[in-house]
Every structure is written in structure tokens, then in C-alpha cells.
Amino acid sequence: MSLFVRKDDTVMVVTGRERGKTGKVIKVLPKKSRVFIERVNLVKRHTKPRSAQQPGGIVEKEASIHVSNVMLMCDPCNAPVRVGYKFLEDGEKVRICRRCGQGLG
């Protein structure tokens, strides 16, 4: 399954507890339609000590967000936008901004 977001894209959360926050996509899970966003949707996890180098404690890390709750940010528009697709002359499929028509990475 293909999604409109990819790793290293900048996205904005449009619904939920984290609404309005922007960040870079760290990881994409296409089969589950979920994304991990840097410093967004943080949860606390309790970890056991594994060795002397890896002590236990409470670790804050990102939890996944459903892809329907995020929108891709367009650099020229500087706003969250819907994504369209276009085929170039050489047959390559590219993502475009529905607002300004520019290519999105």
C-alpha cells in the first residue's frame, strides 16, 4: 500500500490531541497506515535495566499517528495542503501541491 507521506517529509497534525503541531516524519508503517513524527505524540515507557551501560527508567518516545490525521506541508505555500499526483514526460510519478501546483519533493 502506498501513502502520500514519506520519511523526512514535514507534516502538520490536523486532528486529535496534538492538533496544530508540525514535525518531520521519522518512520512510516504503510501496512498499518501510520506515521511517527518527530517530537509529536510523545508517550512514556518504563524500561528495565539491561546492563550497566543501559540503565532502566522512564523513557519518552514518539507513538504513531494515523496517516488520515496529518497533512503534508508545502514549502512555497507554507501551509498544510492536499496532495495530487502527476506523471512527467519520462513516466515518473510525482506528488504535487493542490494549492499552488508545485512539486513536493
Q: DSSP for 12-70, please give it.
A: EE-SSTTTT-EEEEEEEETTTTEEEETTSSEEEEEE---SSSS--EEEEEE--EEGGGE
- pTM across the whole model: 0.90
Given this model, what pLDDT does residue 31 score? 96
Given this model, what pLDDT does residue 103 score? 87
Residues 41 and 69: beta-carbon distance below 8 Å: no
Neighbouring-strand partners of residue 58? 46
Cell 508540525 maps to which residue?
22
Indicate whether 1 pLDDT > 70.
no
Give me the chain's average pLDDT, please. Answer: 94
Indicate whether 105 pLDDT > 90.
no
Residue range 41-65: average pLDDT?
95
Indicate whether 29 pLDDT > 90.
yes
